[in-house]
Structure 1
Amino acid sequence: MRHSIGLTLILLFLSACGGGEPAKTESAETAEQAAATAAETASAETAKSEAQAATGDCQLTLGWESYEPYQFRDLNGDVRGLDVDVVTAIAERVGCKITYQQGEWRELLDGIKSGKLDLIASATRTEDREEYAYFSDPYREEAFSLYVRAGEANKWAAKSIREMVRDKNMRIGLIDGYVYGGVIEDLLGEPELAPHFISASFSESHAANLLDGKIDGLMEDAYVAEAMIQRKNLGDRIERLPFNYHKGDVAIMFSKQSVQPDLVQRFNETIAAMKSDGKLEAISSRYKKK
């Protein structure tokens, strides 16, 4: 009887130990299932994106603002411009069709956040924007200049924007949502100097503010400002100070809500190809002849 009991205890002990690999915990199984699901989802999304491009079903909504010569509507009602032509050319090579939706810049950023828009051009990469958007490689540079009322260039002569604002009380018009580079961003962060910067939705508003004496200077891309000045026949009323205040790269910005990373990669490959074959330069030269 003792042998029988002893044998039974040994068998029970071995059974409890399992004699093999330890059982997986519930948390480990859950983690594995989550990883497998994520992998399957990513694979499915990639396959879907590739299939759309292959079958011509890739449809992208490009948000644009009135920003001549980069983005504008011509006399025939067609959306054109350097940025528009670049994005359209890239999309054609990738196999996507573009539709257009106009808005002010802040509205376009909100559209990227929500996924109502798939992409916008002329965007500067920032940490805040990277939380909700992907960025292509840069496809062109931008440079901001300061414009003042005609005949006042000598009045504002200074070594820096800080001197103009701090020592001469200059009021500068900016566009809401634009990124103007380190110097302007630093000044905006200083409580004593921030009130010297006035925001508006678009440049035409600040052109009127400048002429009405509500601001003393307008910060804008030189090509955009010159196009506006020519369009509104303001060449004898507004002049440019003779140096640039900020230069930087701009890229195409994609919504993380509606665009997959593999499509961004294909855009990057196409940007590189268009730089090599001269297509980007050809598009740029059509709009930057002056």
Structure 2
Amino acid sequence: MNPNWDDMKVFLAVARLESLSAAGRELKVDPATVGRRVARFEEEMGAPLFAKSPQGYALTDAGQRLLAHAERAEQAMSGAMEELAGQAGNLSGTIRIGAPDGCANFLLPQVCNKIAEENPDLDIQIVALPRVFNLSKREADMAIGVSAPEASNRLTVQKITDYKLYLAAARSYLIQHPRIQELKDLRGHRMIGYIPDMIFDKELDYLAELGLDHVNLASNSVSVQFNAIRSGGGIGVVHGFAMANAPRLRKVLGDDISLTRSFYLIRHADDRRLERMNRFAAALSEGLKAEVSRLENWRKE
């Protein structure tokens, strides 16, 4: 039994994506070819690695046992390629970052632009999703989270920085509606926030923390909420680092009402052995910390 590395890559793609078509898109081959390669690999391994159903491909017990070995082989191959390429030069290849859309929209473009300028052979992919990323399925090489998952032998977690959030509204909205002097005055105003049953992390339940339980205009996207507030639709919670993008936004109740949250960098534990990933993670963390500080101090009211 001597499986080749190409078959191992096909196995890993199907294991993570649980679909021949999705694996085919990632590997840039047609699904039928993926299916044949899986069947050949199972024959070489002498055991069924996947349970096939209309819902997709799920790992069998044998497949689960093989997965850990395949991931170690993948890491060893990546490490060998790094060493051959040399670690002192610029970063290269492709790195995918998963992030909540507030971070992805207002921070990552500037931070990643700077990293890309310094590493012209590096391709950076930013995946903005209003949910928690599944790193075990390699949806991303690393992710930024608003809460720290429990570290394990598969994940490492590192705090990047704190950031502030404020109640805010457009100046046009505040002029046209009753004055707000204390928190209870918000009861008569239009509130903008998350769709309650789509809040994917308790750290995002901002309005509940402020004792506000009704949302007049809701979205699962921070960017949609931000644009609704900026256009005069009502009052909502806005990241301090986003307010530089909307000079006509005003804090409601000033700095008296603010929330503090944190960003965390979440990585595959095995990637800590890869100098390329370590260098990128360090640049990303330092860049985010500096950008949050710069934008939060852009305007003092």
Q: TM-score, length-normalised on structure 2? A: 0.50
Q: Aligned equivalents of 2:289 and 2:133: distance in 1?
A: 31
Gaps of 5+ in 1: 1-32, 72-79, 255-259
Amino acid at match of 1:148: A
Q: How does 1:187-206 map to 2 (within 5 A)?
A: 193=213, 195=215, 198-204=218-224, 206=226
Per-residue deviation, 1:282: 5.8
Which of 64, 67, 70 aligns to 2:107? It is: 70
State the distance in 2 between where 1:36 and 1:149 align: 56
2:169 corresponding residue in structure 1:
148
What is aligned with 1:59? 94
CA distance in structure 2 between the partners assigned to 1:210 and 1:35 by the alignment: 49
Q: Is the 8 A contact 2:207 2:237 kept in 1?
A: no
CA distance in 1, matches of 2:135, 2:270: 18
Per-residue Cα deviation, 1:160-219 (whole angstroms, up to 9, x for no partner): xxx466x5465232486575738637569x9x9255572253435543366454xx3121
Kindly indicate whether residue 83 of structure 2 is the aligned counterpart of residue 47 of structure 1. Answer: no
Percent of pairs with identical residues: 11
Are residue 226 (structure 1) and residue 244 (structure 2) matched? yes
User: 3-state DSSP class of the match of 1:249?
Assistant: strand
Distance in 1 (alpha carbons) for counterparts of 2:107 and 2:123? 16
Q: Which residue identity does 1:193 align to in structure 2?
A: D
Aligned 1:171-250 pairs, distance under 5 A: 171-174=191-194, 179=201, 181=203, 184=206, 186=208, 193=213, 195=215, 198-204=218-224, 206-208=226-228, 211=231, 213=233, 216-227=234-245, 229-230=246-247, 235=248, 238-241=249-252, 242-243=254-255, 244-250=257-263
Q: Report what 1:7 is aligned to.
A: none
C-alpha separation between the residues in 2 aligned to 1:40 and 1:204?
43
| 1:231-250 residue CA offsets vs partner (Å, 9 max, x unmatched) | xxxx2xx3112125321220
* 1:1-290 to 2 correspondences below 5 Å: 40-41=69-70, 43-56=72-85, 59-63=94-98, 67=104, 69-71=106-108, 80-82=109-111, 84=112, 97-101=122-126, 104-106=128-130, 109=132, 115-121=138-144, 123-125=145-147, 127=149, 134=155, 136-150=157-171, 151=174, 155-159=179-183, 163=184, 167-168=187-188, 171-174=191-194, 179=201, 181=203, 184=206, 186=208, 193=213, 195=215, 198-204=218-224, 206-208=226-228, 211=231, 213=233, 216-227=234-245, 229-230=246-247, 235=248, 238-241=249-252, 242-243=254-255, 244-254=257-267, 260-264=268-272, 290=298
Distance 1:58 1:105 in 2: 23
Bigger Cα Rg: 1
Write the letter of the residue equivalent to 2:243: A
* Cα deviation, residue 137, structure 1: 0.7
* Aligned counterparts of 1:197 and 1:187: Cα–Cα separation in 2: 18
- Residue 124 of structure 1 and its aligned partner are, at CA, apart by 1.2
In 1, are the aligned partners of 2:107 and 2:292 still within 8 Å (CA)? no
- Cα offsets for 1:7-60 (capped at 9, x unmatched): xxxxxxxxxxxxxxxxxxxxxxxxxx9999687556434423422432457632
Matched residue pairs, number? 219
Q: CA deviation at 1:222?
A: 1.4
CA RMSD of aligned residues (A): 5.1
Aligned residues of 2:165 and 2:237 also touching (Cα < 8 A): yes
The higher-RCO structure (CA 8 Å, 6+ apart) is 1
